[in-house]
Structure 1
Amino acid sequence: MDQRRLILLLVFSLSLVMLWDGWIKHNQPAAPAPVAAAANAGGASVPTPTAAAPGVPAVPGVTAASTAPTVQVVTDLFRADVSAEGGNIVRLELLKHKSTADHERGFLVFDNGEVHHYAAESGLIGKDLPNHRTVFSLPAGEQVLKAGEDKLVLRLEAPEQDGVKVTKVMTFTRGSYLVNVDYEIVNGGTEPVGGHAYFQLTRDGTPAEQVQAFGVTTFTGPAFYTDEAKYQKIKFSDIDDGKAKFIKTAPDGWVAMVQHYFVSAWLPAAGTEREFFARKVGNGLYSAGVILPVAAIAPGAEGKAESRLYVGPQEQAHLESIAPGFNLVVDYGWLTVIAAPLFWVLSWLHKMIGNWGWSIILVTVMLKALFFPLSAASYKSMAKMRVLGPRMQRMKELYGDDKAKMQQEMMNLYRTEKINPLGGCLPILVQIPVFISLYWVLLGSVEMRQAPWLGWITDLSAKDPYFILPIIMGVSMLIQMKLNPTPPDPLQAKVMMAMPIVFTFMFLWFPSGLVLYWVVNNILSIAQQWQITRMIERGKAGSSKPA
């Protein structure tokens, strides 16, 4: 009994440590964006392709912050500010995903200094070609995707140089987070025009809505994908140290800037050799991007450079269809092998029910049914030990001073009654990875963000505002403890009885969807354990009656 209780205590202690780490880091305020980074936003230089032909120089960046005018583009999904400087998207607010701090506002992805510095930049590399610091002409007034229209086209004209006319064309589509970004190049000069086009994401290194849980931090930073190297994440600190390892050239692939729930990415078409880069461009600022070749354009001819830009939520149902491997930006940490199928089942249920809370409840029931035989065997073992409680108490009285003798007699009793003293630990050991996986699904899936269940639960990824579910969970844990056999050690018994209180306190700040899972699981466990305990106790009582 002591050995079994010791292992059970260790399992609960491990869970407690992981929960404490998750709670502390989840409620840790994000560090403010560095002011210096925003001030030096204009200091990023144009990237230089390593394979560039001689005579294609890099254009130095401007040291002062940009004060260029902007034009606002409004679609059914977002509101974006496009700067005259480079035609860069310097601010983008998602209309259907609300801010964490203020639900009256949309979530800000690209940010021009309100909290972060984060922008989508692009340009051309070549003699007198416009880059992301060139000032383009803007159309007058707000550009709005009107009712009945499927597309909105924004055309930005660069100053003509030596007869070469460049137009940056941005096409916004209804119902899509994708933006087509094209450079139309008309060579009205006397010399051929060629070079490269680059598309980059520039961001400060401060994470947005960072969450740390169970020793793993939700990732914020650049990521690259190619068919050859697959998905590669790059830490900002590795860029600082020059240790960032990722594929540099490939005929396919994309570059992204990943953060909790949301992602931006440049997605060039496959089939063109490209070069990827990641570098530090200022005080606290980093750029990650891709460079594409621009075929030589003869005098009097026209050419084009193009890519797609995605800015939006990590909606798993759509990411894979946008680009190969794009679904990998949803990172569930080291338990992806459990979390990914768990989310798939939740999504399947959500399609039928239309509510994530009820989907969580049904998944809990399904998991409980899946592990029913294992739980039944465990509860039978615990019920038998509960029946043997009086006999074990007498043994303690007889051999209390002889620990070795008492341990020997207890093991003999276990063998005689065919009891596995460690059987009660198995359901807990099985639940822990499922519990952590569901935690990651709730915190890592944007579909769960601000998803309501019923009544007071309006966001399954946030804590219960009135702490009702955690209290119910604590009561259910207490009932479970009462159904378990009482440890012979008084100190151990007090520790076990304190666990519901400790866990209730910990769960006060955990996602309500996770607490809902634990409450339903506990209620089902109580029903199963109570039924099995009653059957065992009745059987023992019947066998003890004289014939």
Structure 2
Amino acid sequence: MDNRRLILLMIFSISLVMLWDAWQKYNQPKAPVQATAAQSGTATPQPTTSLQAAAPTAAPAAPAGAAAPAATTETITVKTDLFTADISTLGGDITRLELSRYTATEDKRRTFALFEPKHRYAAQSGLIGDGMPNHRTQFTAVKGPRELAKDGGKDDKLQVRLEATAANGVKVAKVYTFSRGSYAIDVATEVLNGGAQPLTAHAYYQFQRDDVAPEGESAMVSTFTGPAVFTGEEKYQKLAFDDIAKDKAKFAKSADNGWLAMVQHYFVAAWVPQGKDKREFYARKLEGGNGSPLLTAAGLILPLPQIAPGAAGQQSITLYAGPQEQATLKKLAEGLDLVVDYGWLTVIAAPIFWVLQAIHGLVGNWGWAIVLLTVGIKAIFYPLSAASYKSMAKMRTITPRLMQLKERFGDDRQRLNQEMMKLYQTEKINPLGGCLPILVQIPVFIALYWVLLGAVEMRDAPWALWITDLSSADPYYVLPVIMVVSMIIQTKLNPTPPDPIQAKVMMAMPFIFGVMFFWFPSGLVLYWVVNNILSIAQQWQITRMIEGGGKQAA
């Protein structure tokens, strides 16, 4: 195989690996029908026998108390420095959660909503047991402040309390505690046993969501959306919506540690239990399929300690709902930072992101941090790149002689290959010399690609002039056009393939890549533009020196 064909194969291979998700057929179901309530008729989850061991009786398949009429349902709006949250008294669930520091993906005039009725996305919780309040029970909101005091106020926390009474005299309160400057919400379940018998119950915490991708996702740049489970034994496990619907999702069902999350690009919601209580994880289809959006519930079940008659008990869990800030997630729970998924290149991508953060700390701009990081990586790989460009430059000098051989032996492929190998040996050229150094660099560049694609820090981050959001496409397509031009220049600097078909394909590659990059985040395109410009400068200098008969570049 000659050098040109190997380079062509390498280009297609890199494209396939780097844009793996881009070539997947992203399932785009029909838009979901707006539901009158996110808590559509769903039964509460049930613990398995192992978690029920201490329970005197098994919980029923559905809660005894039906939801109250819609007319009695109230929506409480809570405001903090980071959130605007809607809490429904039907179930006491968070049905909408806007992150005030982030704008919507497509309409930058709106605030980004993580939980929202559009996707029937809500954080739900309740108790399992005969007649116990759950996410279909009507709660009553206790009066109190609904807005966190402004900066400088005496209170850095805001509590919202909802109460319900079961038929057996058990009183339950659900208490949300919001803290200033934190995306972590403490969710406490307080139980007062007003009955005559000891009470043993289980609490469940779940996310409900359809399988429609968030806005801004496309077949070109698609990321994982769906539930994920982490335990110390099984580590990080992603659950595809389709696998859940077919009951084929494989994940840890029980453990004394771990958390459950609902993941999407840049953001995550996670139920994080504290301590070593035995817990069970579950994921199930609620409704939909066959062309309509799948509605899925995924959550975990925790046992409550037995509560004597007249006594009270409490259980707390952390609900994180916010951006995938790796440092914050790592502090909150083991493995939670893995929701920023770099795949099999995490071992390379994690240090790259650390360096990118360090550079940003110095320059204060993520765009310039990308530029400087690209320059640094290019400098580290300079010796390998130089070896590759030297080989290409030598190939360029013998291209006319290769064309002559093709004209003489074009009908005898075996003789042509023999003569080409003789020429390579005479000129001391390794046909693979232009490819092997590049292959060594591929994992690093792919890892950097995923870092720039997955880092929430790029979202709404400006660079300069018209680039006001590095996570969005260039609104005027200036960077993609520059990238196409730079790739054309690179193609011109490379030796012309002897095969006319190969030559045409090589000339078409910049335009093929250019079309794809028109919809890529501008931070990614910026990286490629800088990398291409540096490559052109290096390749031009080495080619000029070799073709001019000067000394080889260091």
Give TM-score scaled by structure 1 length: 0.90
Residue number among 233, 238, 245 corresponding to 2:243 in the alignment: 238
Query: Are 2:417 and 1:417 aligned?
Result: no
Unpaired stretches in structure 1, ≥5 consecutive residues: 543-547
Question: How far apart in 1 are the matches of 2:89 and 2:59?
Answer: 23
Judge conservation of contact 2:330–2:337 (CA < 8 Å) in 1: yes
Q: Confirm whether residue 45 of structure 1 aligns to residue 47 of structure 2.
A: no
Q: 2:180 aligns with which of 170, 174, 185?
A: 174
Name the CA shift for 1:418/1:257 in 2 (closer, same or farther; >3 Å).
same
How many angstroms does 1:43 deviate by?
Answer: 0.7
In structure 2, what is the equivalent of residue 108 of structure 1?
A: 113
Change (3 A) 1:6 1:121: same
- Secondary structure, aligned partner of 2:281: strand
Aligned-pair distance for 1:164?
A: 3.2
What amino acid maps onto 1:107 in structure 2?
F
Residues 541, 136 of structure 1: CA spacing in aligned structure 2 closer, same or farther, 3 A cutoff?
Answer: closer
Whole-Å separation in 1 of the counterparts to 2:27 and 2:93? 30
Distance 1:351 1:389 in 2: 48
2:455 equivalent to 1:445? yes
**Equivalent residues of 2:144, 2:160 under 8 A apart:** no
Do the aligned partners of 2:342 and 2:349 also contact (CA within 8 Å) in 1?
Answer: yes
1:374-413 to 2 correspondences below 5 Å: 374-413=384-423
Alignment of 1:88-487 (within 5 A): 88-112=93-117, 115-139=118-142, 143-147=146-150, 148=153, 149-159=155-165, 161-209=167-215, 211=217, 218-283=223-288, 284-430=294-440, 432-487=442-497
2-structure distance, mates of 1:211, 1:344? 26
Deviates more, 1:405-414 or 1:258-267: 405-414
Structure 2 regions of 5+ residues with no counterpart?
A: 289-293
Counterpart secondary structure, 1:232: strand
Determine the structure 2 residue equivalent to 1:545.
Answer: none
The structure-2 alpha-carbon separation of the partners of 1:388 and 1:93, relative to structure 1 and needing over 3 Å to count, comes to: same
Distance 1:202 1:65, change over 3 A: farther
Q: Which residue of structure 1 aligns with residue 9 of structure 2? A: 10
Q: Deviations over 1:476-500 (max 9, x none)?
A: 2222222222233344333323333
C-alpha contact (below 8 Å) 2:211/2:226 kept by paired residues: yes
- TM-superposed CA distance for 1:238, in Å, is 2.0
Aligned partner letter, 2:269: S
Contact 1:167-1:184 at 8 Å conserved across structures: yes
Residues 73-88 of structure 1: matches in 2 within 5 Å? Answer: 73-88=78-93
Tell me by how many angstroms 1:92 deviates.
0.8
* SS in structure 1 of the partner of residue 165 of structure 2: coil
SS in 1 for 2:236: strand
Query: What SS does the aligned partner of 1:231 have?
Result: strand
Query: Which stretch of structure 1 is more off in the superposition, 169-178 or 187-196?
Result: 187-196
Q: How many residues align?
A: 537
Query: How far apart are 1:65 and its partner, in Å?
Result: 9.0
Percent identity between matched residues is 58
SS in 1 for 2:320: strand
Residue in structure 1 matched with residue 503 of structure 2 by the alignment: 493
Q: In 1, distance between residues paired with 2:214 and 2:470?
A: 20
Equivalent-residue separation in structure 1 for 2:158 and 2:365 (angstroms): 34
Instruction: Provide Cα deviations, 1:395-434, integer angstroms capped at 9, x if missing partner.
Output: 4455455444343222112112211122222354345444
Q: Is the CA contact 1:47–1:58 (under 8 Å) kept in the aligned structure 2?
A: no
- Give RMSD over aligned pairs: 2.9
CA distance in 1, matches of 2:40, 2:493: 66
Q: Which deviates the most, 49-58 or 342-351? A: 49-58
Q: Do the aligned partners of residues 380 and 199 (structure 1) sit closer, same or farther apart at CA in structure 2, a change above 3 Å counting? A: same
Check whether the contact 1:72–1:142 (CA below 8 A) recurs between aligned residues: no
Aligned to 2:291: none
Q: After the TM superposition, which of the residue ranges 459-468 and 32-41 deviates more from structure 2?
A: 32-41
For the pair 1:55 / 2:57, whether they are aligned, the reply is yes
